[in-house]
Amino acid sequence: MNQAEFVNVVMPFKDKLYRLAKRLLTSSEEAEDATQEILLKLWSKNTKMESYNNVEAFAMTMTKNFCLDRLKSKQAGNLKLVHSNYSDDSTSLQNQVEAKDSVSWVERIMEELPEQQKMVLQLRDVEEYDFDEIGKLLEMNPTAVRVALSRARKTVREKLIQKHSYGIS
């Protein structure tokens, strides 16, 4: 596979790799580094790339494993666990403030989910993978994916309701 073919195959889902890395690593900088690493690894395997049935699924699995390894490594203590990339200077309108607050709450709630539920929710609701693809990526059967997704959504919904009804009797 030459460089042009590689770019045509890999670049359309580069943002998905970044969002998955961001969900796992929390820090924008770490997610960018992880995405760059994965792209380099994919480039080094580009001669074998044509033998993969689904390059995107392979890349997503590589990203997931890379990020989880990174979190388990000694470097995990050095990871920045801040949301520095959500600054928006145009929050003068009430709706923008409320929308940003809701997104922030959903992200915080997602961070508290068990790892498997967090991954399933990210892959299904953010990246829009189907249940079979998620099952292959996470080595789960589609029924288990559905159950994990249902539990994750229920937890997010309950915590959002709890947050929004706070102080209202």
Provide long-range contacts, Cβ within 8 A and 24+ apart, for 80-89.
Answer: 80/26, 80/27, 80/29, 80/30, 81/26, 81/27, 82/26, 82/27, 83/26, 83/107, 84/27, 84/28, 85/28
pLDDT score recorded for residue 85: 47
Residue 83 has pLDDT above 70, yes or no: no
The Cα 116–Cα 95 span in angstroms is: 33
- State the pTM of this model: 0.53
Report pLDDT digits (tens) over 94-129. Answer: 666 666 777 777 788 888 899 899 989 888 888 888
In this prediction, residue 43 has a pLDDT band, given cuts at 50, 70 and 90, of confident
Which domains, and CATH codes, for the chain? 3-78 (1.10.1740.10), 94-164 (1.10.10.10)
By CB atoms closer than 10 A (0-12, 13-18, 19+), residue 121 is buried
